[in-house]
Amino acid sequence: MTRIFFLLTGLLLCSSAAWCGETFELPPLPPPEEFGNIVINRNSTRNGLLPVVFPHWKHRTKYTCRVCHTELDFNMKANTTEIREVANRKGKYCGACHNGKKAFKLNGNCDKCHSGDINSGSEKFAEFSKNMPHTSFGDRINWVEALKTGVITPQNYLKMEPGDLPFDKDLVLEAGWGGIVPAVFSHKTHMGWLECSSCHPDIFNIKKKTTAHFSMAYILKGKFCGACHLKVAFPMDDCKRCHPGISRN
């Protein structure tokens, strides 16, 4: 009885934080408009330019995390990715989008990225966040709710969107060595059963073509096609279905 009494008073007192004993040293939070803004400065100031400021809020309205952190190879640690001006110009990293097609191009827009100001874009943020569902911390935008209610519809893949791909065209997967009849893969057939994420990017990476690593040895270990074509989808014995040109079976 007394035990229960102490337990109850303990719980009551605990609702005033000072009595709980347990306090956590949380890192200080930046103001909402700067939350998720990353300063990138591996080579900028060294080359006479201001550091780059990358705003996550702006980008996550349009792309899911995996677009950048899987497809485009940005690390999830600031200043660890070797983003270089030349790479951007070749269409890698920022340049995968900042090419005047998906987003503003590099030329003539140096200061938009090399702003050196972690607060840059704050007016746009204020305008944007007014119409978003709210929470209490960080950038104070409830992104889960925003996604669920369709206020934002970020793209899950960059290089393609279902619909604007030649999915009717079969992919011809060439063997690593010469003289081997290629395997044929049809997106269309598979999409009757699966979705993009069943295979991309975990089983097949789109950007770094998996093809060079396809081999029957891997497939038979359950990788690539073997993730399905050993146990559930028709098994590997049916050579001809994947290699229409093969003479056997």
By CB under 6 A, what part of segment 152-171 binds ligand HEC? 157-160, 162, 165, 171
The stretch among 7-15, 27-35, 126-134, 183-191 that binds ligand HEC (CB under 6 A) is 183-191
Q: Does 147 bind ligand HEC (CB under 6 A)?
A: no
* Shortest distance in whole angstroms from residue 218 CB to ligand HEC: 8
**Residues 31-60 close enough to bind ligand HEC by CB under 6 A:** 38, 40-44, 47, 49, 52, 54-56, 58-60
Which of positions 79-108 make contact with ligand HEC (CB under 6 A)? 79-81, 83-85, 88, 93-94, 96-98, 102-104, 106-107
DSSP string, 48-94: T-PPEEEEHHHHHTTB-HHIIIIIS---SSTT-S---HHHHHTT-GG
113 or 146: whose CB is closer to ligand HEC?
A: 113
Instruction: Check residue 150 and give left, alpha or beta (phi > 0: left; psi -120 to 50: alpha).
Output: left
Alpha-carbon distances of 204 from 39, 47, 170, 200, 248, rounded to whole Å: 32, 38, 16, 5, 27
| Contact region with ligand HEC (CB under 6 A), list: 7-15, 19-27, 68-76, 131-139 | 68-76
> Of the two residues 7 and 159, which places its CB atom closer to ligand HEC in the complex?
159
Site membership for ligand HEC, residue 236 (CB under 6 A): yes
Is residue 206 close enough to count as binding ligand HEC by CB under 6 A? yes
Backbone angles phi, psi at 184, to 5 degrees: -115, 135
Q: Is 132 in the site for ligand HEC (CB under 6 A)?
A: no
d(CA 30, CA 183): 53
Among 3-11, 16-24, 113-121, 134-142, which window interacts with ligand HEC (CB under 6 A)?
113-121
| 59 vs 140, beta carbon nearer ligand HEC | 59
Task: Provide the sign of the torsion angle of the four alpha carbons 199, 200, 203, 209, taken in this order.
Answer: positive
Closest CB to ligand HEC among residues 12, 161: 161
Is there a contact between 133 and 146 (Cβ–Cβ < 8 Å)? yes
List the one residue out of 137, 132, 129 whose CA is nearest residue 147: 132
What DSSP letter does each residue of 130-174 carry, written as one string? HTS-B-SSTT-B-HHHHHHTTS---BS-SS--TTSS-TTSPEEE-
Number of residues that bind ligand HEC (CB under 6 A): 102
In whole angstroms, what is the distance from residue 89 CA to residue 96 CA? 9
Least distance from ligand HEC to the Cβ atom of residue 175, Å? 3
Of 128, 175, 201, 223, the one binding ligand HEC by CB under 6 A: 175
110 touches ligand HEC (CB under 6 A) = yes
113 near ligand HEC (CB under 6 A): yes
Q: Is 140 in the site for ligand HEC (CB under 6 A)?
A: no
